A and B are shown apart, each in its own frame.
Chain A
């Protein structure tokens, strides 16, 4: 049963944002369940309920936030498709009712003919919309089955790109470009600070909203969204440079393809792309099991990025390697098997344990 007095535990939970959101969700779930129960009970006459729901829809936007209301909006169309020719004849004066009835009767054959055609047209449109909505829903269901779940931001380890080995090179790569430079994933904005200090007109995006708050609080132009979502709302040729790291490494192949296409159109001709990634070998060895298991994709070799970008009109202008170097030292030459062992170590180092990251710099030429 509900009470009118706040409990001590409730007060404590108020200061915890996660608990607040959880509480709100729980209350709304309970409300939704009760709404469903009452709808099923039919305690409101069907006609009245429809009328009240229509009143809500009448003052609801149908654009960006109306997409989920496809069926409800369609039912509005259905209900509006019928045109009643029985014009009301009530009047405050007796003669008024008589005159109105006379007009209705004398005009009935004419209005009826016109209305018949209007209703026929409206029903045809309504039928077509039903077919379209059915197809859209089938498509949505088919796409949902094939959807690759994204990597939950909560499992991704925090990064500090401003303190990384490749930061200075990335800043240098985009210094001097004319226009805005996008940095993704920018985290708390440490590399953005370096870019701005170098005179670059930089802004950033990061899908983890919690890490961007401090950057926004410092007055940086940072948005809490993924690189792909952001590029979707950027005009062609609007960017002069991009510095990319983080989630770009584990994009699903379809998303990676989309990214390359978007980078190739949003970056102006002459624009510079600096892309940082782990090597596939170091990533599998160094990343947490949860990330490697749940990530929708894997990092690429630098040669593969070069190929993908080259196909989209980019020219590679530089590649640097760095990061954690886990190479095994050679054994002493005093060891009788040194030659064989060192050859094996070289092979292992080259295949698995070399510099674990790279920074690729490319320029859009066409």
Chain B
């Protein structure tokens, strides 16, 4: 069986997010006897510019065959105007304008879409929903097509362009039950074949160093955030809440923000911003944390929760994020906050109560062991794909490819 992943960007440099999830799945699946995996992707690595930075052509990334195609243009400034406009009432936006938004969001990659149209794979998997490569890939795929939406509750989800596109999907693969509920609510796709798969967790691979030593904190206790340091991930709010907390609770406690920095990093003596760290350092920092905090309200899975639980580190999540709340409620491995007050009280309680931390961490570890180890994930995924292929594919006849937007002023990072 041959599977072709279609994803806007791909590579070990892409940290976190749906594209990294696609890579993890592809790398495990290609090791499964009887399965061949290839990836069709763009030459871009930066989702904000779509600048072609990788060479076009075929290469191998960790054993997976990757075909790269250049993007037709970089992101244009028109995107931001239209994005601001559609945010007000996305479901009221007309189909033509919604499709224009998708095209402007990009990446527009005509060579990639041509390749999907003549693929010799048995099944195509598009990952994630938000991008032009997915909408065009679904439109032209000649074989059964599954979608890994990696969706969260954001205005773009309600655009009619996606509703039209997803009618032609032959199966849906979700990260969490909450994501399935959201997609069913938005698209009424309940009768389509689907599976809540999630992602597997690797075994912890630290070097055994003390997290505080790596962070330059010595023996000081610390909370840890792991992922892209970005306003939209809730990092600004977390930093603000932490600073208020420290004003009211002077002491040794520090906050470590670990990951690539998208926005201006918070500047405070008790906050350490590491930037990107090695895999071993990541695990060691995580293992030394009192609590791992994920303040993001927009997560579709949050692998970092499961990584924390692998090390029996309890977590604290944003109560308005359905995916991370689902993990905490199902596992009993974490607590949540819904205001500064509850952040303050919950952090206080977690830091003061060692038994609570132990019980949460252990419950999380058991949950991770039971549901999120790679062999069982791949078993379920291959079973699902086999079923989708057996059902066959009704190729859409009236859906056209997206139209390349007229050339406009290009967005420049930091410009």
Report which A residues bind B (CB closer than 8 A): 2-7, 10-11, 13-15, 17, 20-21, 23-24, 27-28, 30-32, 34-35, 38-39, 44, 49, 52-53, 55-56, 58-61, 63-66, 69, 180, 182, 201, 203, 219, 221, 223, 230-235, 238-239, 266
Contacts and interface: CB of A to CB of B under 8 A. Distances in A.
B358 to A, nearest CB: 4
Given A31-B349, A52-B340, A61-B154, A23 B354 contact: no
Given A27-B349, A64-B182, A221-B193, A10 B154 contact: no
Contacts of B379: 219
A55 B190 contact: no
Contacts of A27: 335, 349, 356
A249 to B, nearest CB: 22
B321 to A, nearest CB: 8
A335 B351 CA distance: 85
Given A3-B355, A14-B359, 16 more contacts: A14-B362, A15-B366, A21-B332, A23-B359, A44-B341, A53-B340, A55-B241, A56-B237, A59-B237, A59-B298, A66-B320, A180-B193, A221-B193, A235-B188, A235-B189, A235-B191
A4 B237 contact: no
A183 B24 CA distance: 34
A21 B332 CA distance: 6
Most chain-B Cβ atoms within 10 A of its Cβ — which of A20, A201, A239?
Answer: A20
Contacts of A32: 342
Nearest to B342: A35
B253 interface: no
19 contacts: A2-B352, A2-B354, A4-B354, A20-B359, A24-B332, A31-B345, A35-B339, A35-B341, A44-B340, A55-B241, A55-B340, A56-B318, A61-B152, A61-B298, A63-B154, A65-B320, A182-B191, A221-B193, A235-B191
A233 B322 contact: no
Interface of B: 152-154, 157-158, 180-182, 184-186, 188-195, 231-232, 234, 236-237, 240-241, 244, 296-298, 318, 320, 322, 328-329, 331-332, 335-336, 338-342, 344-346, 349, 352-356, 358-360, 362-363, 366, 379-380, 383-384, 387, 391
B353 A64 contact: no
> What does DSSP make chain A's interface, helix, strand, loop or mixed?
helix
A238 B185 CA distance: 15
Contact of B340 (A4, A56, A65, A223): A56
Contacts of B345: 31, 34-35, 38
B240 A39 contact: no
A5 B356 CA distance: 9
